[in-house]
Each structure stands twice: as structure tokens, then as C-alpha cells.
């Protein structure tokens, strides 16, 4: 194992033993938009470690939280470990608010599919607003607009993947972004793309993507759900599209697991760092398609509530 990987592994081990009452606080909190009378904020965590590697600047990681578009917050304590590990390794982290379009929804089925599409678009619109704010204030914030990696878990992963798909297909929601903008990379933990126009494809070159998904996921489907032209395409379908189009991507498919994989950001930290250093910073096209067997991840059925999958210490060792 390389020295860098050993140091990261030690940091992860130490981080997994932190007292749950300890909070990792942002450097600053800024309001980036007001929509539907709701003020939206973002937290910025400044890097503590070296911000360059082999002459390349490390990207800013823009994180979108999960919660089924029903619940969740940008500063939930379950994100603290991951944020701190990124910061200590020289990455700036930004976590943004977005409107919860399914809040109050009692059930979700085919009849309610249109509401999912609305919720996804609301979240993407707010993500684009946060991105535009970072670009407009880049000099003051010390951010390179061409070096922003978008990431997300569950609903946040859906939002991130949807946003990149919209950018590559010139969706009207992209009009708020600077001309020619794209993210420099994308990291998705149990995400999918919602389409009301049939199958998915990328008309423009997408940014490098890192996908994690459980093969038995029934919350955010690993394969796809469709009804006429409505499709909800999970990581398996997205990766097939990326492979067919010869894009830059990596996918790790977890055998025997479902939506638990939305909460393994810390557990798979070394894979994420490798992706950031090679596919994003060095712009190498390193394509990986691997099945993962890991008996140490706690199954979702053992959780008392969905939020446990993000904060459960067993998924962060």
C-alpha cells in the first residue's frame, strides 16, 4: 500500500472513533438564494491539508445531502466524518440546501411519479443556484469554477446525476450556469436519473463519474423502473450508457446490499481519493467496473430509521 493510502487509512480509523457529540463545523455559512420564500444556505469547509498534488489543484467537493426529497439537512451530523476526512486531505467541501419537493408525501407510486420529477427538478434548480453562486463569487471564495466535483447520497446522488445529465443535454434549467460550465467530476452514492422522455444518453461529454450502488437496492433502484416514457434509471443502467458511449466512469456494485450503500462515503474513501486524483485531477480515463463483497456493512433492515444508514459507525470503518 502506498504511503498516502496508509496515512488516509489511519485517519479513517481515528475518525471512526470520534465521539458522536463532536461536531465538525463549517468555516462559513452563506445564503445563496431565496426560492418559494425559503432562504437557502451553503456551508463551506476550508481545506486543512495540502491543496495540490503533483502540481494539480485539488477540486472543491460540492455535496448534496440525502433524505428521499422528504427530509435531511446540509449539516446533518452523519456527514461530519466524511467532510473532515476530505478537508484533512486538502479538499474544500461545500454543502448546500435545497427545497424538499416531496415533504409531506404519504406514499409514492406510479400515480405520484410526476411529483418525483418535480421534486428532482426543484433540487437540481437549487443545486444549480448554489453552483452559480460559487462561480460568481469564485475569486472571493478562492474557488476554481472549472474544478468543482458534485457529489451526493441517495436523493442527493439523484440530484447530482440529474444535474450532470441536464448539463450534457442542454436542459433549460442550465441557463443559470456560466456558459460552457460543467462539473470536473461526480461521485454518486446510490443514485439514479429520472426521465420522462424514455431512455437516457449524453449528447455532450459528461464529466468523469464514480458510482456506488447496492445490487439489491429497492429504494433507489439499481436497475430501472419504467412506465411508458417515464423512467427511473439506476446506476446499472447509467453505467451501461456510459460504457456504450465510451465515457470516463467507475462503478462499484455491492453484492447482497441495498440502499445501505448510500451511507458508505467514509468506508470507500480510498476509492474516492483514487478517483479524484486520477480521473479528475490527472484527467486519466481509468474505467473500472467491479463487484464488491463486503460483509462488514450493516444491512438496512437492522436500522431503526433510514437516517441511521448515514451515521452508523459500522459503515465508516
CATH of the domain at 266: 3.40.50.1820
How big is the CA angle at 313 (ends 310 and 317), to the nearest 5 degrees?
110
Are residues 244 and 168 in contact, defined by beta-carbon separation less than 8 angstroms?
no
Q: What is the pLDDT of residue 114?
A: 77
Instruction: For residue 228, give the C-alpha cell.
Output: 411508458
Question: Does 14 reside within a domain?
Answer: no
- Prediction pTM value: 0.89
Which residues, given as ranges, of the chain have pLDDT below 70? 1-21, 106-112, 228, 300-317
User: Among the residues of 258-302, which ranges form H helices?
Assistant: 269-275
The parent domain of residue 220 ranges over 3-8+24-316
Q: Report d(CA 184, CA 281) in Å as an integer.
A: 8
- In total, how many domains does the chain have? 1
Is the dihedral angle over the CA atoms 188, 275, 163, 129 positive or is it negative?
positive
Backbone angles phi, psi at 12, to 5 degrees: -65, -40
Are residues 81 and 266 in contact, defined by beta-carbon separation less than 8 angstroms?
yes
Look at the block and give the residue holding cell 441557463.
175
Q: Report d(CA 22, CA 8) in Å as an integer.
A: 20
Question: Does 13 reside within a domain?
Answer: no
Look at the block and give the residue holding cell 471564495.
141
Q: What is the pLDDT of residue 193?
A: 97
Q: Report d(CA 31, CA 96) in Å as an integer.
A: 10
**Residue (of 97, 41, 111) closest to 67 by Cα position:** 97
Amino acid at each position: 500500500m502506498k504511503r498516502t493510502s496508509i496515512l488516509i487509512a489511519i485517519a479513517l480509523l481515528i475518525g471512526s472513533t470520534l465521539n458522536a457529540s463532536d461536531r465538525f463545523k463549517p468555516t462559513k455559512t452563506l445564503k445563496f438564494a431565496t426560492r418559494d420564500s425559503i432562504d437557502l444556505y451553503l456551508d463551506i469547509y476550508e481545506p486543512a491539508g495540502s491543496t495540490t498534488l503533483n502540481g494539480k489543484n485539488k477540486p472543491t467537493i460540492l455535496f448534496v445531502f440525502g433524505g428521499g426529497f422528504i427530509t435531511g439537512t446540509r449539516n446533518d451530523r452523519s456527514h461530519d466524518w466524511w467532510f473532515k476526512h476530505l478537508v484533512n486531505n486538502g479538499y474544500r467541501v461545500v454543502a448546500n440546501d435545497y427545497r424538499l419537493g416531496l415533504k409531506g408525501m404519504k406514499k409514492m407510486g406510479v400515480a405520484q411519479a410526476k411529483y418525483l420529477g418535480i421534486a428532482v427538478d426543484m433540487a437540481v434548480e437549487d443545486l444549480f443556484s448554489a453552483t452559480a453562486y460559487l462561480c460568481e463569487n469564485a475569486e472571493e471564495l478562492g474557488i476554481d469554477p472549472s474544478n468543482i466535483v458534485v457529489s451526493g447520497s441517495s436523493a442527493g446522488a439523484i440530484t447530482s446525476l440529474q444535474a450532470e445529465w441536464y448539463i450534457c443535454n442542454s436542459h433549460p434549467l442550465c441557463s443559470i450556469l456560466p456558459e460552457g460550465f460543467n462539473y470536473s467530476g461526480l461521485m454518486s452514492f446510490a443514485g439514479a436519473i429520472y426521465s420522462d422522455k424514455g431512455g437516457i444518453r449524453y449528447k455532450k461529454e459528461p464529466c468523469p463519474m464514480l458510482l456506488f450502488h447496492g445490487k439489491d437496492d429497492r429504494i433507489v433502484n439499481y436497475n430501472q423502473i419504467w412506465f411508458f416514457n417515464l423512467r427511473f434509471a439506476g446506476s446499472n443502467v447509467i453505467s451501461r450508457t456510459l460504457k456504450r458511449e465510451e465515457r470516463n466512469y467507475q462503478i462499484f456494485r455491492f453484492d447482497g446490499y441495498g440502499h445501505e450503500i448510500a451511507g458508505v462515503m467514509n468506508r470507500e474513501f480510498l476509492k474516492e481519493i483514487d478517483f479524484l486524483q486520477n480521473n479528475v485531477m490527472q484527467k486519466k480515463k481509468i474505467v473500472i467496473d467491479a463487484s464488491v463483497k463486503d460483509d462488514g456493512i450493516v444491512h438496512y433492515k437492522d436500522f431503526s430509521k433510514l437516517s441511521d444508514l448515514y451515521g452508523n459507525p459500522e459503515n465508516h470503518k
